[in-house]
Amino acid sequence: MSRISLVPLLYDSGYREMNSEIAFKHQLDVKGVDYMSKTFPFCILSARKYIWPPPRWGVPVASFSSKEHLNGAKCRPCTPVLKGTDAMNIIGNLTRSWSWGMATPGLELCDAHDDWEENWEQIFDNVAGPKFSSFKQMVKNNTLTDCIKDFDAMKQKTADWDAPPSET
C-alpha cells in the first residue's frame, strides 16, 4: 500500500489535519484493512523544546519515569511536573486525532519548554537501571569514529540499506 497514493482517498473520505500515525490508521480504515492496536513500552527521547502546557494541537512530553507503556510518545528524563489525574487532564485537552490517543494513571509529564534538566543523567540512571546506565556511559565516551563503526556494523545486519553512506 503506497501511503502517498492514498492521500486523495483520505481527503475524499473527510480526513484532514492528521499526524502521520493517525493518517496511517485512517489509510487502513478506508482500505478495509483489519488491524489491532497494541501497546509498547518505548518512547522517543527528545531534546526538542515544546510549549508548556501543550496547547490543543501541542506535543506532550512524558517523563522517562512514567509507569505506563508510552507507545512511542515523546519523552525525556525529567522531574515530572504533573502526574496521574492532573497529567491525564492535560492529555484529555489535546485534539485526539492529532496527539496521544489516551492517558493512563501512571502517566507523568515534563515541562519541556526548556533544555533538559542539569541532573537528567541521574534521573535517567535511576529509572533505566545499571545495564542501560552503563550503555549510556559507553555511548557518551564514543568518538565519531566509534559511532561510524557501530553504525556500519548495524547496517550490515539489514537485508537492504538504501541511504547515503555514513561518511557524508
pLDDT digits (tens, 9 = 90+) for 89-135: 998 888 776 666 567 789 999 999 999 999 999 999 999 999 999 99
Q: How far is CA 126 from CA 14, 101, 120, 130, in A?
A: 46, 28, 10, 8
The owner of cell 510518545 is 73
User: Which residues have CB under 8 Å from 78's CB, separation 6+?
Assistant: 61, 63, 64, 110, 111, 112, 116, 117, 120, 123
Tens of pLDDT, residue by residue over 54-85, are 998 889 999 999 988 888 889 999 999 999 99
62 phi/psi in degrees, rounded to 5 = -80, 150
CA-CA distance, 91 to 89, in Å (whole number)?
5
pTM for this one?
0.73
